[in-house]
């Protein structure tokens, strides 16, 4: 029973990662631009360009380059940067802590905002509290990161001078990027918490708990919220993956030295191996987070596992 539940999900995750690697590899090689020209400049001699292209293996057919890339992945070798000539694994390890730090800060902020807002909106249904909380949710969902980021820089950094404009120096530098990513996630989660909690509060076991004389606080949080959070787990997993994709824009806006800004820099330099490795890392993280979410959901609610 357990194998029937876990094995298909693991195989699906591996298939998705394989597909992502192939698609990204092919798309990057279809993008106009020559990395050799970027590295040597327009004034380089044709012979020098051809020699470098052969040294990098870019003169081979695409299918042979793809096969060579998979052979490297099988040996946990992500290749070497065309621009810096450094191992890509070292570059990713340098940038990964900044992205993890930003993601955790955004997640903590999102949960800190979403749980109280969602609970208050459910308890105070169709009141000013409900309209205010859902108004914030609509506001957070509607504003894109590429607009929110510059506005926060304008207000928080330039007008008020409370936070650094960009970079990763000190605790204050993470506040504005975390707000940019966390508010959108908090808006989506708060709406889901409100919806599921309203549904749970009408169940029979909630009426039974109230009939036993339990306080409304105990009924709501101990009995209602614990059951309402089950669907939120799935949404939270999806949003954790979205944090990685959203970090590409946010890290670029705030010059945050993470994986997202590395992708943009590598695209500008036509550094194909770095782009492939970074996208592979992001997609792998996204798939693993969703796989872990499925496993957690099955562990929390055995009915999901037993129904398969």
Domains of the chain by start residue, with CATH: 2-74 (no CATH), 93-306 (1.10.3720.10)
What pLDDT does residue 125 have?
A: 81
pLDDT at 226: 73
10-residue mean pLDDT series, the chain (308 residues)? 67 82 78 65 69 70 79 79 83 88 87 86 82 80 79 83 78 85 84 83 76 74 74 75 73 84 83 84 80 71 56
Predicted TM-score (pTM) of the model is: 0.77
**Other residues' Cβ atoms within 10 Å of the Cβ of residue 194:** 24
Q: Judge whether 272 and 81 are in contact, CB under 8 Å.
A: no
User: What distance in Å separates the CA atoms of residue 3 and residue 73, rounded to the nearest whole number?
Assistant: 27
Q: What is the pLDDT of residue 246?
A: 64
pLDDT at 44: 67
| CA gap 133, 110 in Å, rounded | 14
Question: To which H or E segment does residue 195 belong?
Answer: helix 175-200
**The pLDDT of residue 56:** 67
pLDDT number for residue 196: 84
């Amino acid at each position: 029973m357990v194998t029937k539940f876990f094995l298909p999900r693991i195989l699906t995750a591996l298939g998705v990662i394989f597909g992502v690697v192939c698609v990204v590899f092919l798309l990057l090689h279809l993008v106009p631009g020559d990395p050799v020209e970027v590295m040597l400049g327009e004034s380089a001699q044709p012979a020098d360009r051809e020699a470098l292209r052969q040294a990098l293996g870019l003169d081979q057919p695409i299918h042979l380059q793809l096969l060579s890339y998979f052979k490297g992945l099988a040996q946990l070798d992500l290749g070497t940067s065309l621009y810096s000539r450094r191992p890509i694994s070292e570059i990713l390890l340098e940038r990964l802590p900044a992205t993890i730090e930003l993601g955790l800060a955004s997640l903590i902020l999102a949960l800190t905002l979403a749980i109280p807002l969602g609970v208050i909106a459910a308890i105070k249904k169709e009141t000013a509290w409900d309209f205010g909380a859902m108004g914030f949710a609509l506001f957070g969902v509607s504003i894109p990161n590429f607009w929110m980021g510059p506005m926060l820089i304008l207000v928080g950094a330039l007008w008020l001078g409370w936070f650094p404009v960009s970079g990763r120096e000190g605790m204050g530098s993470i506040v504005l990027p975390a707000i940019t990513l966390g508010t959108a996630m908090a808006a989506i989660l708060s709406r889901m918490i409100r919806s599921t909690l309203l549904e749970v509060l009408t169940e029979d076991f909630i009426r039974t708990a109230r009939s036993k004389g339990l306080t409304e606080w105990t009924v709501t949080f101990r009995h209602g919220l614990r059951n309402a959070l089950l669907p939120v787990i799935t949404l939270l997993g999806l949003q954790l993956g979205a944090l990685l994709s959203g970090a590409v824009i946010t890290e670029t806006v705030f010059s945050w030295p993470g994986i997202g800004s590395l992708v943009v820099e590598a695209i500008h330099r036509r550094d194909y191996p770095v782009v492939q490795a970074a996208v592979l890392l992001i997609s792998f993280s996204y798939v693993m987070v969703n796989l872990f979410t499925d496993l957690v959901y099955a562990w929390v609610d055995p009915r999901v596992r037993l129904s398969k």
